[in-house]
């Protein structure tokens, strides 16, 4: 295959030798063209490669994915980032890169949804989540505030631990915010610590707020946390990463269209911040807009049962919208 590789050499897994992986791709019989994430590479897409490889973290995967919407080119991942949320959503987190490369010719193809956020600033596609509150405030502190040291920590596990500690301190200090919300026409406005519209359930430093989130169901998971959730959320924040099924159950809704407005809030779109008055944000999903290659043994069996749905009292459980919570 003609393989186009987008490589971020500064991704979290600094021990990974990118050049060695490129040589391994070539040894597997593929024709390889490599670009770094900081160089112009999109023109290479017009030459029609058979496969795009994202060698890096979630940021690198996002750059690749946003450029491939509307193109019939599959994506393969060689996860090297800090969180690798997208790789985990595909079940790739425990695979060695060499094994992934060796399996590309026989790999299964899995569709993957893409979220779309529209506001006064324009339109932006996202793979992980859009939201206000805790994640946005913590991202702001880490990227631009007093906790910028977190991004300088070389060890992946230590970096995630440090990020979680920043999240806890942020949660201690931040007030709730009035957020106007509508999901598929249903009013869900309230005072919230966290509002996240998730494409597949996880965001930030491996925080799996919606453990049953599915990146190929054509739905968004809308997760909210209120003042009553503050103490247990802080005390058990790490469980969303290490043992999400034992983490606090936050109120979760599923649907296809979200309208959100929060006066004076900082909005995040994946790992990017949107400042100023964002106005009303419309969030939708493009079902199956991307195709990822995954090892054949990860292809779900047609006989596997669907995950159980826990409906919140008064909620709706159907194919279009489900409400899950305590």
pLDDT at 318: 38
pLDDT at 10: 73
Which pLDDT band, with edges at 50, 70 and 90, does 315 fall under? very low
In the block, residue with structure tokens 């597949």: 200
User: E strand or H helix at 56, and its extent?
Assistant: strand 51-56
Q: Are 250 and 224 in contact (CB under 8 A)?
A: yes
CATH 3.10.105.10 fits 115-287+311-324, yes or no: no
Q: Are 202 and 268 in contact (CB under 8 A)?
A: no
d(CA 37, CA 154): 19
Q: Specify the CATH class of 2-106 in words.
A: alpha beta
Q: Which of 239, 286, 298 is nearest to 77 (CA)?
A: 298
pLDDT digits (tens, 9 = 90+) for 33-57: 998 866 667 788 888 899 999 998 9
Lowest mean pLDDT segment, chosen from 121-130, 151-160, 282-291? 151-160
If one compares 8 and 52, the residue with the highest pLDDT of the two is 52
pLDDT at 309: 34
27 vs 6, 20, 32, 96, 272, CA distance in Å? 18, 10, 10, 16, 37
Predicted confidence (pLDDT) at residue 310 exceeds the cutoff of 80: no
pLDDT digits (tens, 9 = 90+) for 81-138: 888 999 999 999 889 999 999 999 999 999 999 999 999 889 999 999 999 999 999 9
Stretch 17-29: mean pLDDT, rounded? Answer: 89
pLDDT at 3: 95
d(CA 37, CA 169): 32
pLDDT digits (tens, 9 = 90+) for 179-188: 999 999 999 9
Predicted confidence (pLDDT) at residue 324 exceeds the cutoff of 60: no
- Each domain of the chain, given as residue ranges in start order, spans 2-106, 115-287+311-324
Which pLDDT band, with edges at 50, 70 and 90, does 276 fall under? low
Q: How would DSSP label each residue in 265-278?
A: PPEEETTEEE-S--
If one compares 25 and 275, the residue with the highest pLDDT of the two is 25
Predicted confidence (pLDDT) at residue 16 exceeds the cutoff of 60: no
Stretch 254-274: mean pLDDT, rounded? Answer: 93
* Total residue length of the chain: 326
pLDDT at 308: 35
């Amino acid at each position: 295959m003609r393989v186009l590789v987008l490589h971020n050499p500064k991704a979290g897994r600094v021990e990974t030798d990118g050049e060695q992986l490129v040589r391994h791709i070539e040894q597997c019989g593929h024709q390889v063209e490599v670009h770094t994430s900081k160089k112009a590479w999109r023109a290479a897409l017009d030459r029609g490669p058979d496969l795009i490889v994202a060698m890096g973290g979630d940021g690198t995967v996002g750059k690749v994915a946003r450029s491939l919407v509307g193109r019939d080119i599959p994506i393969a991942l060689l996860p090297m980032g800090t969180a690798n949320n997208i790789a985990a959503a595909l079940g790739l987190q425990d695979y060695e890169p060499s094994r992934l490369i060796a399996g590309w010719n026989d790999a299964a193809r899995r569709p993957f949804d893409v979220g779309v956020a529209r506001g006064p600033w324009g339109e932006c596609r996202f793979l992980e989540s859009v939201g206000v509150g805790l994640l946005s405030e913590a991202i702001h502190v880490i990227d631009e505030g007093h906790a910028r040291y977190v991004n300088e920590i070389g060890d992946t596990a230590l970096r995630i631990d440090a990020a979680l500690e920043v999240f806890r301190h942020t949660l201690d200090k931040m007030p709730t915010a009035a957020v106007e919300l509508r999901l598929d026409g249903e009013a869900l406005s309230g005072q919230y610590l966290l509002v996240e519209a998730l494409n597949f359930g996880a965001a930030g430093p491996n925080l799996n707020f919606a453990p049953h989130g599915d990146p190929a169901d054509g739905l968004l998971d809308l997760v909210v946390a209120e003042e009553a959730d503050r103490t247990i959320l802080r005390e058990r924040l790490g469980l969303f990463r290490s043992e999400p099924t034992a983490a606090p159950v936050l109120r979760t809704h599923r649907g296809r269209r979200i309208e959100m407005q929060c006066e004076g809030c900082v909005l995040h779109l994946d790992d990017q911040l949107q400042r100023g008055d964002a106005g009303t944000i419309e969030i939708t999903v493009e079902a199956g807009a991307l195709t990822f290659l995954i090892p054949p043994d990860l292809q779900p069996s047609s006989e596997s049962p669907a995950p159980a749905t826990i409906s919140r009292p008064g909620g709706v459980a159907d194919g279009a919208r489900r409400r899950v919570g305590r």
